Amino acid sequence: MGKEKKVLSGEKFVFSNDSQKIEILEAAFDYRGDVTLELVQGQTIEGYLFNRQLTEAPFFVEMLVPGEESARRIPIEQICAVTFSGKDPADGKSYEAWKAKKEKERREEAKKIESEMKQAGLLD
């Protein structure tokens, strides 16, 4: 596939063979945003793919789906396509980006994060 995770956001892959399926599912496991799986029966599931077993039987992926307590285990033979549907939460938040900002911008950003955290109840 040879694509970086930043490029993956928004991309859809319909599998043409097993080795491509394994490669894409591995990339989906590595991806920090949500992905959408399309199943052979036509159903779709969107969630965070946090685990996979792709090299020995039983072959499966595991997903946490918003609003559901327990993880779902999906046999990989049921999956026919993957869309990297969620945005990559690590994007644009590098240390370099922070350092490159001017003093004033940093202060403004710090204030903004602080007020967001307060609103979310994560800071008193």
Partner 1 sequence: MVPLSQVWTVASYVIGKKLKGVKRYPLVLMLEPLFRCNLACAGCGKIQYPDHILNRRLTPEQCWAAAEECGAPIVSIAGGEPLVHKEIDRIVEGLIRMKRYVYLCSNALLLKKRLDLFKPSKYLTFSIHLDGLKEEHDESVCREGVYETAVEGIKEAVKRGFRVTINSTLFDGANPERVRAFFDEAMRLGIEGIMVSPGYSYQKAPDQEHFLQRNKTRELFKQILKDRKKSWKFNLSPLFLEFLQGNIEYDCTPWGNPTYNVFGWQKPCYLLQDGYAKTFKELIESTPWEKYGFRSGNPKCANCMVHSGYEATAVNDTFGSWRGFAKTVKATLSL
Q: Which stretches of the chain bind partner 1, using CB under 8 A?
A: 29-30, 32-34, 47-48, 50-53, 62, 64, 66-67, 71, 86, 88-91, 93-99, 106-107, 110, 113-114, 117, 122-124
CA distance 62 to 71: 6
77/91 with CB nearer partner 1: 91
16/99 with CB nearer partner 1: 99
* Sheet hosting strand 79-83, strand order edge to edge: 12-14, 79-83, 35-39, 44-53, 60-64, 72-75
17/96 with CB nearer partner 1: 96
The count of other CB atoms within 10 Å of the CB of residue 77 is 13
